[in-house]
Amino acid sequence: MSNENHEFPALKNDAILKVARGEKPHRIPIWIMRQAGRYLPEFLEIRKHHDFFELVNNPELAAEVTLQPIRRFDLDASIIFSDILVIPQALGLEVLMKPGIGPVLPEPLREPEDLKRLNFGVDVSVKTKGTLDAITLTRKLLEGKVPLFGFTGAPWTLMSYMIEGGGSKTCHKAKSWLYKYPKESEQLLENICEIVIQYLVLQVKAGAQLLQVFESHAEYLSPDSFSKYCLPILRKIVTETNSRLKLQGIATVPMVVFAKGGHFAINELSKSGYSVVGLDWTIDPKVGRQLAEPGTVLQGNMDPVALFGDPETVKATAKAMIEKFGTENYICNLGHGIYPETPVASVEAFIETVHSFQL
Ligand code: CP3
């Protein structure tokens, strides 16, 4: 298998790629959002000695952290250890990861005048070199055990971090831009979209075998705002990424769209050109199936907090969920990232249950 000019070890477990292409896998594939993270003692150990973005920008350390959950669990995919906020950083904004608080952007965008501070002419390959090199190194170190995901934040989610200056309960500052400065907002989203497309193409060239686009802040938007400011951009991301890869003679890879809280858009998303639609835990899998076009590959959606139950409860919850999704056209995952302090035994019970289904 080769992407661009890299030679990588042959892939041994292609279950997730098969499902994403609409083929039948040997078992239900499972991976876990934020699978490399603070519930793993070996992650906490490394994190003691390094700042978050120091890990992200060091290919050896990022590859090591990416591999930690793969060594421990029988997962069907890996996801590169990085963050969606590498894009605001590439554009020139400072981003800090504060323990116990999360991401902080000390100088957020306050008004359209501040857009001058963003450098959209940036060389994305230079600014994201740490993650791109980590992808290439991880592909080698994985020895073909499972495929590797690359990822990005979607433009609205990135725009909202750049305006809010961090996490927010309401996102009202960023949403205000959509109503106060619609033209500038649209231009900003278009400009971020172009950078995101470049970044995704670079990740595939570096060795990513699937891509996930995180629209984590869909949940703050009204259906109308989502239709106006997210859907066309999400469609453009998948169409353009694929066409640019084809133009360069590089094979396209399956793309997953995960719009957290975007139930109102499931049908549109299932027709938007993505191979897979991710669901959060607040929608019943049967309703998700009804809303999506027939044959859509769905991913999700167990409540991450269900993993705080004992292994028997985890097994029963996972089994009930899979029975609702059905075993076909399905990739198992949580409905959002795994929380710190999640018991490792629950993760094991979850994965075992998923793999116990006969296809
Ligand atoms: O899934 C993986 O294992 C890959 C790594 C990954 C991280 N962040 C590592 C991380 C991925 C895919 C992300 C995506 C990401 N980052 C999203 C989209 C997914 C989602 O959660 O909706 C968002 C919104 C971010 C921004 C971000 N980064 C937040 C809000 C936080 C703090 C929240 C928290 O859990 O503390 C981060 C920090 C972060 N990103 C951590 C990890 C492992 C924890 C940081 C630490 O070690 O201190």
- Mean pLDDT for 83-95 is 98
Write the pLDDT tens digit of every residue in 13-33: 999 999 999 999 999 999 999
- pLDDT, residue 89, reads 98
Distance 97 CA to ligand 1 centre (A): 10
Distance 358 CA to ligand 1 centre (A): 33
Number of domains composing the chain = 1
Residue type, 288: G
pLDDT class of 5 with cuts at 50, 70, 90: confident
- What tokens appear for 259 in the block? 């719009």
Instruction: Examine residue 4 and state whether it is found in any structural domain, yes or no.
Output: no
- The one catalytic residue among 38, 72, 235, 244: 38
- Which domain covers residue 133, as residue numbers? 15-355
Instruction: Examine residue 224 and state whether it is found in any structural domain, yes or no.
Output: yes
* Rounded Cα distance, 8 and 143, in Å: 8
- What tokens appear for 310 in the block? 């004992």
Instruction: Examine residue 279 and state whether it is found in any structural domain, yes or no.
Output: yes
Instruction: Examine residue 284 and state whether it is found in any structural domain, yes or no.
Output: yes
- What tokens appear for 28 in the block? 């239900």
Instruction: Examine residue 5 and state whether it is found in any structural domain, yes or no.
Output: no
Report which of 292, 102, 121, 297 is spatially closest to residue 212, judged by C-alpha positions: 297
- Can you give the CATH number for the domain in which 85 is found? 3.20.20.210
- Mean pLDDT for 144-168 is 98
Instruction: Examine residue 1 and state whether it is found in any structural domain, yes or no.
Output: no
Write the pLDDT tens digit of every residue in 321-359: 999 999 999 999 999 999 999 999 999 999 999 999 999
Residue 159, C-beta contacts closer than 8 angstroms, at least 6 positions apart: 174, 177, 185, 188, 189, 192
Q: Is residue 68's pLDDT more than 50? A: yes
Question: What's the full length of the chain, in residues?
Answer: 359
For 73-151, where are the alpha helices, taking DSSP H only?
86-90, 124-127, 129-141
Active site residue 229: no
Report which of 211, 254, 252 is spatially closest to residue 17, judged by C-alpha positions: 254
Q: Is residue 227's pLDDT more than 90? A: yes
Lining residues, ligand 1, CB within 6 Å: 33-38, 47, 52, 79, 81-85, 97, 99, 102-103, 151, 167, 214, 216, 260, 337
* Rounded Cα distance, 256 and 277, in Å: 6
- What tokens appear for 78 in the block? 């890996």
Instruction: Examine residue 351 and state whether it is found in any structural domain, yes or no.
Output: yes
* Rounded Cα distance, 2 and 45, in Å: 34
Taking the CA of residue 80 as reference, the ligand 1 atom at the shortest distance is 4
Instruction: Examine residue 9 and state whether it is found in any structural domain, yes or no.
Output: no
- The one catalytic residue among 14, 39, 76, 83: 83
155 contacts 218 by C-beta, under 8 angstroms: no
In this structure, the number of other CB atoms found within 10 A of the CB of residue 66 comes to 24
